[in-house]
Amino acid sequence: MAGKQNKNKPQSKPASNIASLYRDKDGTLPDISKLDMRPKNRLRNILLPAALILIIVLGIGWLSTILFRSGGEYRGNSVEVEFFGPEEITSGDEVTFTLRYSNLEKVSLNNVELVLRYPGAFTFKESKPVPSNDFQNSWNIGTLAAGESGKIEIVGTLVGEIGEIINIDSSVTFEPENFGSTFKETDTFSTQITDTLLELTIEGPQETVPEKQITYTIKYLNNSDHDLENLQIRADYPLGFVFQSAEPDPSVERFASETEEIQTNNFWHIESLDKLEEGEIKITGGYLPDNDVTKEFSVKFGFLRDEEFAIQQEKTFVTKLVKHNFVLDLIINGSDLDQAINFGNTLNYTIGYNNLGNQTLSDVVIVMNLDSEIIDWESISDNLGGQIDEESGTITWNKDVLPQLAAIGPLAQGGINFALRIKNFDELDRQSDELSVVSTAVANLGRIDNVESGVEVRSSDIKNSINTQVELRAEARYFNQDNIAVGSGPIPPVVGQKTTYRVYWLINNSFHRIQNVEVKTVLPDNVEFADKFLVSTGELVYSSTDNEVVWSIGNIPENKSFDEVNVWFDVILTPTSDQKGKIASLTNPVTLTATDAVTNSLVSTAVEAITSNLFNDPQASGKGIVIGIGE
């Protein structure tokens, strides 16, 4: 049959042709059981095993897939985690998040653990089931059967600023059954803070004037159904605001070392605030004069979390500074400077006022403050009839006595004139140490336009100090107080004959030290300086050139009497014929000049010329008329 198959079949010529291709030249076939490796086939030898390994790995993977799909296998769909919660929340309010988890595999998952990463603004309160760790953010679920699901409900509070987006991250780790590896799935839930439980308001003056005390009231409220903790209020004072006090007092700031404290003036820590509880803070202060007329008083209210301040409410109250340009001038005896005065002087006062601003000043009251114990209040001369209060030392003028003070318009001006007298030295209470008058004019501006003001405008102070009371006594004697003759020659004096008299100068200084004291006189032409003298202090000098006697003293302390400060010197009178029947002059007028060491003012006094009448010498008094003895 084979043969038939061969006879009937055509000859296979191509086969014999192919075999001939492999025959050697001698007609024999080569031994192909042995390969002759040549260098040109090395790359093929490397790639061929690698390809075989890849085919094996892919085959195993394909086979595993086929095997798992045939029954309870891990398919890689893992665990589904879904977060449920509000997309918008109120800061500080209690919020509930629900976390649902499901095993989507057809095999059980072992060692399932769910972990949450809370933001810093979240405060955990409770959960069902309870967490597995102290950080309250991990739940050990254990084994989760195929298709099994569960949930976790978490209750807490979120705190943050309005508009802030809060993220809560979750992660689930597990091991598929019959699988040695641990797998992890993650997810993130986001919510936004759109409102707050805290309410804040500020009350204060919409307009005020510089240097006036004002009060801002901060009111705050916990507008929720649960208590809140760890709150803080911060005040941002505008430039130029001077804090004076607050009720309650601001908090004490403690530094990290907790060993150093500092009293603040602009923040209040509130440990807890019950539901629907409200409170208030009163801040008292005032504004300095400033070019900025608009002042923004800002307050922030929020939670304090881990030293971070989460602002919940921020309010700003605008106060406008209403300014004035009211000028008050004081003139005394034609000068606005301090001056020295003497007992018995009259002081003439002028109070000038001028509104240089654009506002109308209403209900203005002007008060003259006179701080002194040497004023004769009965002597005050005031045509306007201001109210005099001797006890407080004031004179007051208002719109009742001066109608112009009811409203002083822009660029309006006016004045008040009055006078008073200083007491005489003998009227003085010698127990008084303040021998001066300190004068100050004060204007109280009731309203500036329509703003209640109460601003006080003061003039400069003027101090008129009393010069020390210096008394100079100048006299001549022939007999001293013991009736012993200190003079010589005839008395009454005789024309052409010499009579010697003793001249006494005495000084009494009261309550201020005086310096650069000089007492002097010029002797008449027919009077000679005898060059006999005695000084208790200082130096006595006679100038023959101008016939002048000068007594110089550097300092005389206060409360020095005549007995302590004096000098005497002798003069010789030779009357001329034209003096016959007349009283002769022994000296011309005597003057004293000095500087008050307290007031730094010139002090001066003078006495009349000393004559031969000798009023202070009882033994020689009345024997001063010059006589002539005829031939």
pLDDT-derived band at 33, boundaries 50, 70, 90: very low
Residue 259 confidence (pLDDT): 57
Calculate mean pLDDT across residues 395-412: 96
Summary count for the chain: helices (H), strands (E): 3, 42
Is the pLDDT confidence value at 401 over 60? yes
Residue 326: how many CB atoms within 10 A of its CB? 19
Could you tell me if 367 and 396 are in contact, meaning their C-beta atoms sit under 8 angstroms apart?
A: yes
DSSP assignment of 55-70 equals HHHHHHHHHHHHHHHT
Is the pLDDT confidence value at 60 over 90? no
* Lowest mean pLDDT, pick from 30-44, 216-230, 461-475: 30-44
Is the pLDDT confidence value at 4 over 70? no
- Domain formed by 79-196, architecture: Sandwich (2.60)
Strands (E), 322-383: 326-332, 339-341, 346-355, 361-362, 365-371, 375-381
Is the pLDDT confidence value at 394 over 90? yes
In the sheet with 514-522, reading across from the earlier edge strand, the strands are 539-543, 548-556, 514-522, 590-596, 602-607
Q: Which tens digits make up the pLDDT trace of 436-488?
A: 999 999 999 999 988 888 788 999 999 999 998 899 999 999 999 999 999 99
Is the pLDDT confidence value at 207 over 60? yes
Could you tell me if 465 and 472 are in contact, meaning their C-beta atoms sit under 8 angstroms apart?
A: no
Encoded tokens for 405 = 């003070």
Question: Is the fold of 198-321 the same as that of 326-466?
Answer: yes
Homologous superfamily assigned to 470-607:
Mu homology domain, subdomain B (2.60.40.1170)
Q: Which tens digits make up the pLDDT trace of 531-587?
A: 999 999 999 999 999 999 999 999 999 999 999 999 999 999 999 999 999 999 999
Is the pLDDT confidence value at 223 over 80? yes
Cβ-based neighbours of 164, under 8 Å, separated by 6 or more: 121, 192, 193
Q: Which of 405, 422, 423, 406 is nearest to 414 (CA)?
A: 405
Residue 295 confidence (pLDDT): 95
In the sheet with 241-247, reading across from the earlier edge strand, the strands are 198-203, 214-222, 278-287, 241-247
Q: What whole-number distance in Å separates Cα of residue 351 and Cα of residue 330?
A: 5
Q: What one-character DSSP code corresponds to residue 345?
A: -
Integer CA distances (angstroms), 486 to 176, 337, 483, 619, in order: 143, 51, 9, 12
Is the pLDDT confidence value at 190 over 60? yes
Q: Which of 174, 187, 176, 94 is nearest to 140 (CA)?
A: 174
Mean pLDDT is highest, among 63-72, 88-97, 134-143, 306-315, for: 134-143
Q: What whole-number distance in Å separates Cα of residue 495 and Cα of residue 580?
A: 7
Domain boundaries, the chain: 79-196, 198-321, 326-466, 470-607
Could you tell me if 317 and 201 are in contact, meaning their C-beta atoms sit under 8 angstroms apart?
A: no
Paired strand residues for 382:
none
- Domain formed by 326-466, architecture: Sandwich (2.60)
Encoded tokens for 301 = 């209210």
Calculate mean pLDDT across residues 154-169: 88
Longest dimension (CA), the chain: 225
Q: What whole-number distance in Å separates Cα of residue 503 and Cα of residue 478?
A: 9
Q: Which tens digits make up the pLDDT trace of 319-366?
A: 999 888 899 999 999 999 999 999 999 999 999 999 998 889 999 999
Q: Which tens digits make up the pLDDT trace of 514-529?
A: 999 999 999 999 999 9
Residue 96 confidence (pLDDT): 93
Residue 35: how many CB atoms within 10 A of its CB? 7
Topology, domain 198-321: Immunoglobulin-like (2.60.40)
Q: Supply the pTM of this predicted model.
A: 0.57
Calculate mean pLDDT across residues 406-413: 95
Is the pLDDT confidence value at 19 over 50? no
Is the pLDDT confidence value at 380 over 90? yes
Could you tell me if 229 and 310 are in contact, meaning their C-beta atoms sit under 8 angstroms apart?
A: no
Q: Which of 313, 318, 311, 300 is nearest to 238 (CA)?
A: 318
Is the pLDDT confidence value at 23 over 90? no
pLDDT-derived band at 47, boundaries 50, 70, 90: low
Q: Which of 164, 165, 166 is nearest to 156 (CA)?
A: 166
Q: Which tens digits make up the pLDDT trace of 413-435?
A: 999 999 999 999 888 776 556 78
Integer CA distances (angstroms), 512 to 418, 434, 436, 470, in order: 30, 12, 12, 9
Encoded tokens for 318 = 């605008």
How high is the mean pLDDT of the chain? Answer: 86
